[in-house]
Amino acid sequence: MLLDGNRVRGEILAECRSRVEALKDAGHRPGLAVILVGNDPASEIYVRNKIKTCQELGIYSEKLTPPATATTEEIVALVEGLNGRPDIDGILPQLPLPPQMDPKKVQLAVSPDKDVDGLHPLNLGRLAANLPGPRPCTPAGILELLRRYQIPIAGRHAVVVGRSDLVGKPVALLLMHQHATVTICHSRTPNLAEVCARADILVAAMGRPALITREFIKPGATVIDVGTNRISDREEAARIFRNSAAKLEEFDRKGSLLVGDVDPIDVVDVAGAYTPVPGGVGPLTISMLMVNTIEAAERELGKACFA
């Protein structure tokens, strides 16, 4: 079964529209501020898509574009100004930040109530304790995908390959809160293929193109591929896609191909359900950002109503 992220994204955004309208009827339009420092091409695309989705839903959006030479202190001051604005419910400093900046200081400056990335230490603590709060967008999207495709989690063995603060750790916690038995693997895990092959649910999030091959996948397992690796070597593309004429024609046209962390041919042969790349997990990240922004607005409206 192919787990279609675009389909689930459509369902989530349809639900978001009615919530935005309800907030507007109550006198509060949700607002999201995105801080894009410098001119990173990939970041510019991500931010453009976030702003576009806000416009589609009727969420107020604001893009702030400090120069690449900005200091940590300047961005922190910008964030603190946004913290005080009642028309802004969510603040998103787009990562990665330029190398001279301290991303931890910038993230700490965001008010936990406006942390729509779910990455403030206070919100990560709430996640660990299974208390309400914004969840990191990609992990939350993965859980929505599993829920909406009615894939059982409770009592299943889940293996997460990758231990990043952005995906690996949060998705492991979310799966544990749904009563999965969770194993976290990383670059120093011995016998990685053997560990992965015991997983009923396998989450690949390490940024290594097509690393997870058939010997890593238990027959019938659900495989969630978080990887987005751009392949610009034609020989590597030919090897990964088994000399597929269609894929090589696409490579020649674009000059590169997008590949996940899971071998795209093996996963079709062995898994029971899987997310394709592109079109699997990717579309859910922005939709869950919208959910977090709307929930922040709903909390703020609730406070205003009971003030």
Tell me whether residue 104 is one of the annotated catalytic residues: no
* Domain termination site, one of 113, 145, 173: 113
Annotation marks residue 252 as catalytic: no
pLDDT at 305: 54
Same domain? 53 vs 168: no
- Identified catalytic residue from 115, 117, 200, 225: 117
The CATH number of the domain holding residue 64 is 3.40.50.10860
Q: Are residues 271 and 151 in the same domain?
A: yes
User: Would 302 be classed as within a structural domain?
Assistant: no
Does residue 150 sit in the same domain as residue 68? no
Instruction: Look at residue 108 and tell me if it is in a domain.
Output: yes
Domain contains 12: no
Q: Total structural domains in the chain?
A: 2
Whether 20 maps to a domain, the answer reads no
In a domain, 5, yes or no: no
Extract the residue ranges of the chain whose pLDDT is less than 70.
303-307
CA distance 52 to 99: 28
Same-domain check for residues 68 and 163: no
Residue 47: inside a domain: yes
Q: What is the pLDDT of residues 194-250, one digit of tens each?
A: 999 999 999 999 999 999 999 999 999 999 999 999 999 999 999 999 999 999 999
- Looking at the fold, whether 102 and 171 belong to one and the same domain comes out as no
Range of the domain at 75: 26-113
Q: Dihedrals φ, ψ of 107, to 5°?
A: -65, -40
- Does residue 64 belong to any structural domain of this protein? yes
Q: Is residue 52 a part of any domain in this protein? A: yes
Query: Are 40 and 174 within one domain?
Result: no
pLDDT at 41: 85
Residues 184 and 94 in one domain: no
Phi, psi at 85, each rounded to 5°: -95, 120
Same domain flag for 151 and 266: yes
> Has 105 been annotated as catalytic?
no
Query: What's the pLDDT score for residue 306?
Result: 42
Distance CA 13, CA 31 (A): 16
For the beta carbon of residue 1, count every other beta carbon within 10 angstroms.
10
Model pLDDT, residue 155: 98
